[in-house]
Amino acid sequence: MTERTLDLGALQALLDKARGLMVACVGDLMLDRYVYGEVSRISPEAPIPVLRARRQTAMPGAVGNVARNVAALGGRARLGGAAGPDAAGDELAALIDADPAIDSYVSRSAPLTTVKTRFVAAGQQLLRLDDEEGGAGQRLDSSVFEGASAILLSDYAKGVVDDALIAAALQAGAASGAPVVVDPKGRDFARYGAVDLIKPNASELAAATGLTVESDAAVETALTALMAATTAKALVVTRAGKGMSLMRRGEAVKHFPGRAREVFDVSGAGDTGLAALGLALGAGASLETAVEFAILASGVVVGKSGTAVVTPSELIEAEMSGHAALSSAKVTPVEDLVDQVEAWRRQGLRVGFTNGCFDILHRGHVAYLAQARSWCDRLVVALNTDASVRRLKGEGRPVNDLDSRAAVIGGLASVDRVTSFDAPTPLELIERLRPDVLIKGSDYTREGVVGGDLVESWGGEVRLADFKDGFSTTRTIEKMTESRA
């Protein structure tokens, strides 16, 4: 997997750059309507649930939802699409006009307004009703592209994204330097020309290439085939919980892991991803950063009901909670850790082990654990329990309880798992985990490392990591005491 470029600081900087950025969102437009209710019985007329409607909501869908997400993320959207001269078109126009961050370039010349009505009970969609007619030949005002920092084409195969529109978008992008990004449909992706980025989902990639996309290797093969069949500069495939995979022309595929989220409703998640990609690229971010931004935004929006949007504050909260969740996820009970270490070993990974109190984390600890991690593929840190620390260090220690110490140690990139032990030594834990490398500080000798002989007996090794001079928890506490005196 590709190393992350979007940490909390980079996210905040990107959101600042994206604020007020003009993005052209052009393509197929529709009205998304949701009917929410309760199901308590089956119809006597047919084996179908009876929905008692309680409330309805409506919002712009398809490219309209892309524009809503651009606006919600702090940008300004120019929305180009086609609606019909009907009541649904009036409702759609009113919803668009109600958002001050969306400028409407919507034509009312379509035969009718596309409406998708979803019937929902207990958080589950029971049925979707589509009322639509192709909008082929609908000519849009090309001034929608003027002054845009990014151009997004949302193709739902309703006819608006035709050859003329694609040509106009490419011409505008070439003139201004704005990246052109396409969310495609169909199998002929070559029709989009030399756009900067095409963003299919996994099923669309499979349909366009006739290849499977179940694994990273299969996705790489499919992206390579699709790249050869198009003139696009780059491709990114969205893979739901597996994240996204990016391929630039002439370069190897890069895989970006997804972020674990509780999925409530996937409606419109692709629109959110397109909006995030466009905003990030328009703000000057790299493709890699734009992909990570899109993964974060899409991950938040699937936790919401309906065709939803995501805000900057929600992204920052998700990024912060993601760090906390990652740290907590590393804290592992011994029974589970035994299975995890064995799984790593089956993968051919070299497992390291170290232990200690790690009461107040300081520079010496960070350097020590970084060096320990350099000697193995996965590093397990075993912490003394609070009672064990008191036995070793005396009353008043630890300063931080076990949960706090585990959370802090788990937050380090060099640490893969954190566990604890209450015995005087970690010998029993070492026997159960059977690490390949046993690491202690250079204040020990190899002969004095508890469990060292055991590790060497099964072919492992003992390594002594350097300690930074002048750094220790005891000395840190002394300095704190002196400063209060």
DSSP H or E stretch at residue 254: strand 254-256
Give the other-Cβ count within 10 Å of 171's Cβ: 13
Which residue type occupies 195? V
Tell which residue, 283, 375, 373, has the closest CA to residue 13.
283
CA atoms within 13 A on the CB side of 455: 27
Runs of H (alpha helix) within 52-103: 63-72, 87-97
For the purposes of burial, counting CB atoms within 10 Å of the CB of 454, is it exposed (0-12), middle (13-18) or buried (19 or more)?
Answer: middle
Inter-residue contact 255 to 217 (CB < 8 Å): no
DSSP H or E stretch at residue 482: helix 473-484
Cα gap 321→79, rounded to integer Å:
33
Catalytic residue among 99, 196, 271, 436: 271
Cα gap 349→335, rounded to integer Å:
19
Inter-residue contact 165 to 63 (CB < 8 Å): no
- Using DSSP bridges, classify how beta strands 461-465 and 378-384 pair: parallel, antiparallel or unpaired: unpaired
Active-site annotation holds for 16: no
Cα gap 482→485, rounded to integer Å:
5
Distances (CA, A) of 433 to 101, 324, 379, 426: 57, 26, 12, 11
Task: Cite the active site residues.
Answer: 271
